[in-house]
Copies of this chain bind each other. A is one copy, B any other.
């Protein structure tokens, strides 16, 4: 149950017929978020290559910082002393921090294995880690029953994060929405490991909630559902986490792409309908439609800015590689009918030149377009729900987008 008026207020404005999708409004101490919404990732309290005005002009409503990174640099106490992450980074709107669980996964089971939020399982044996061994190499994190110890990727210093510590750090960072500490598992882990990990995540959820209540303040705490690709575990987790007194929920995991929609559906059929749900770390166009159709309200993903910095640019007809020779002489904007700052002022020729010249403005201009593209795609999806045209819009958009991708 949301404690209305106390921390957070989520109102559903409209539901999709014959699916779990909905449009709503999520109130936070720093303003309302119209959902579904795409959350811009500002890992180290900066959305890479953009200033907050550019983030805002792209249509962004809310920014998510990474607890793991900010704990190590500059340190959560500096962010606290600065007045919290929003004030520190000059972002006046709503903010979130994740719990650090995914970074633990990246440093542990997934370390050096080139797997991330979406994984193609070609050789599962590659993904199954040895755990609880005494060797530090090649992993930087070890998972115990009470928490996770890891070596800083910056200076090799040793840190130990428990659920209580994660919540304490997040209270120092001071975002409007924070997450319970969890363990993100690889989709290639065996069932026994998934069960053990899920038990830990559930115990850690309860401990996160207790610590959060103890510390007080006006942030909202979201619990995280895990369970890998197993239907029983996903449902078990949704029931357990959904029954705890969280203000909303995250859906975590490193997904095989083909598993994602079923996992999201299993979970959202169980989670209490009246609370917001955030699909963690997911944000490609086709995944946004899938998630929203299956009841997701919030998404975050580094893709728009990471792809942008690498010169991969979203268009309605699929992604383009701006350093392709043909764009050197192309004096049209990326998309003629795009309302973003980049498309209003620059040609593909100029942006290509900036990338060829390794100029910093290259990544900025491409990131602005990509962020605008994704943020506004979600806004259009929201409008299509309000207009009872979700499925038409989905077909129309994906037909053009996927066909050319």
Contact = CB atoms under 8 A, between A and B. Distances in A.
A82 B349 contact: yes
Contact of A329 (B45, B81, B329, B350): B81
Interface string A80-95: 0110000011100000
Contacts of A50: 361
B73 A357 contact: yes
A132 B263 CA distance: 72
Interface string A325-338: 00011010000000
A363 interface: yes
Contacts of A51: 361, 364-365
A49 interface: yes
Most buried by B among A78, A331, A347, A360: A360
A258 interface: no
Contacts of A359: 44, 46, 48
A70 to B, nearest CB: 9
A90 B347 CA distance: 10
Contact of A78 (B48, B74, B329, B364): B329
B49 A82 contact: no
Contacts of A90: 345-346, 350
Nearest to A74: B353
A356 interface: yes
Given A74-B328, A359-B48, A361-B51, A350 B89 contact: yes
Interface in A310-364: 328-329, 331, 345-347, 349-350, 352-354, 356-357, 359-361, 363-364
A346 B363 CA distance: 22
Interface string A43-85: 0111011111000000000000000010001100010011000
Interface residues of A, number: 36
A357 to B, nearest CB: 5
Contacts of A361: 46, 48-51
A252 to B, nearest CB: 25
Nearest to A309: B360
A46 to B, nearest CB: 5
A364 B89 CA distance: 14
A344 to B, nearest CB: 9
Given A74-B356, A357-B73, A360-B363, A331 B48 contact: no
Interface in A358-405: 359-361, 363-365
A360 B361 CA distance: 10
Interface in A113-170: none
A309 B162 CA distance: 38
A288 B326 CA distance: 44
Interface string A275-313: 000000000000000000000000000000000000000
Interface of A: 44-46, 48-52, 69, 73-74, 78, 81-82, 88-90, 328-329, 331, 345-347, 349-350, 352-354, 356-357, 359-361, 363-365
Given A44-B354, A82-B347, 17 more contacts: A44-B353, A48-B359, A49-B361, A51-B365, A74-B352, A74-B353, A74-B356, A78-B349, A78-B353, A82-B331, A82-B350, A88-B347, A88-B350, A88-B353, A89-B350, A90-B346, A360-B363
Q: 5 tightest A-B contacts by CB?
A: A74-B353, A49-B360, A44-B357, A90-B345, A46-B361
22 contacts: A44-B353, A44-B354, A45-B353, A46-B354, A46-B357, A49-B360, A50-B361, A51-B361, A73-B353, A73-B356, A73-B357, A74-B349, A74-B352, A78-B329, A78-B349, A88-B347, A88-B350, A88-B353, A90-B345, A90-B350, A360-B364, A364-B364
